[in-house]
Amino acid sequence: MYVPVALVTIATRFWVMHMRKCLIAGNWKLNGDHALCDQFASTVFPTDSSFDIVICPPATLLQSMQQLIKKHSSCLRLGGQDVSVESQGAFTGEISAKMLHEAGAQYGIIGHSERRAYFAETNEKVAIKMAQLLAANVSPIVCVGESRAARDQQQTLAVIEAQLSPIKAVLQQQALSCSQIVIGYEPLWAVGSDQPASPEQAQQVHQFIRESMADVPDAEALRIIYGGSVTADNSAALLAMPDIDGALVGGAALNIDSFLGLLPVV
């Protein structure tokens, strides 16, 4: 029986989309305390296996949060907000990937726009951090994104490509699987503002990222999530896009009710 190629392509794409688990990650940034950890860990979250929920508190709360998760048998997973490029040594104030792993972190955010802007992190430094996390069995959430000026000058894709280049190089050189990492697209002009990217704007960049990473091992398993003023009001429309596999959430992750409102309806 003849089946049109277009239908085969659509069917394959549908299968791949549903093979990738949605990921909702809450980045508490420089916020939170033990009480907030207890509130989140005690909450009954949906236990549907089609999506993962990750909370990234400040480093001083990681072990506390991990203990609370175990105590309450929560489905939450734990993530760090940053990691050192160094594995050990005389680097006061730094936290290694191994330390994050031992504290219970399964994920680690790197390359966040605030780290790039306020701490002058380069694309190459982000790639080193990714390698450190992978070596410690922690899944990196690698953030990329453009400024308002870059978007206005139609340089969005060029900026994203430059940010992805050293990431791809490490993955290809070390034959590392895309299934072990997450890419987070967070346009700087949308972070912390009331002007998030539209679903169509976000999808355009997510599709570009997916195409750019196509020659990396297990590219079809790569999860690409959107971050930038995600709320309960816009999350459903964003998650409906074919190449958006979840969300990286800031302010809305500090309130349990608003965070619950972000989770996909399954």
Listed residue (168, 144, 167) closest to 156, CA to CA: 144
Tokens in use for 138?
Answer: 């922690």
Question: Annotated catalytic sites, by residue?
Answer: 112, 186
Tokens 């549903």 belong to residue: 18
Q: What is the C-alpha to C-alpha distance for residues 264 and 73, in angstroms, rounded to an integer?
A: 21
The C-alpha torsion from 30 through 33 and 36 to 42, rounded to 10°, is: 130
pLDDT 10s digits, 249-258: 999 999 999 9
Residues 206-225 as b or e (16 or more Cβ within 10 Å = b): bebbbebbeebeebbebbbb
Q: Distance (Å, rounded) from C-alpha 5 to C-alpha 93?
A: 56
Q: What is the dihedral of CA 99, 109, 167, 191, to 10 degrees?
A: -160
DSSP string, 160-194: HHHHHHHHHHHHHHTT--GGG-EEEE--TTTTTSS
d(CA 26, CA 250): 6
Percent of the chain whose predicted confidence (pLDDT) is above 70? 91
CA atoms within 13 A on the CB side of 234: 21
Contact in structure between 103 and 79 (CB atoms under 8 Å):
no
Q: Does residue 7 have a pLDDT over 60?
A: no
Tell which CATH classification among 3.40.605.10, 3.10.450.350, 3.20.20.70, 1.20.1260.10 matches the domain 28-40+58-84+95-224+239-260: 3.20.20.70
8-state DSSP, 261: T
Say yes or no to pLDDT of 10 above 70: no
Quick one: residue 210, left, alpha or beta (phi over 0 = left, psi -120 to 50 = alpha)?
A: alpha
pLDDT for 169:
96
Which band of pLDDT confidence, cut at 50, 70 and 90, is reported for residue 56? very high
Residue 172 and residue 176: Cα distance in Å, rounded? 7
The 10s digit of each residue's pLDDT in 14-35 is 334 457 999 999 999 999 999 9
Residue 11 has pLDDT above 70, yes or no: no
Tell me the longest C-alpha to C-alpha distance in the chain: 67
Find how far residue 9's CA is from the centre of its chain: 27
Q: Are 180 and 141 in contact (CB under 8 A)?
A: no
* pLDDT higher at 249 or 9: 249
Domain parsing of the chain, residue ranges = 28-40+58-84+95-224+239-260
In this predicted structure, the answer to whether residue 4 has a pLDDT above a threshold of 60 is no
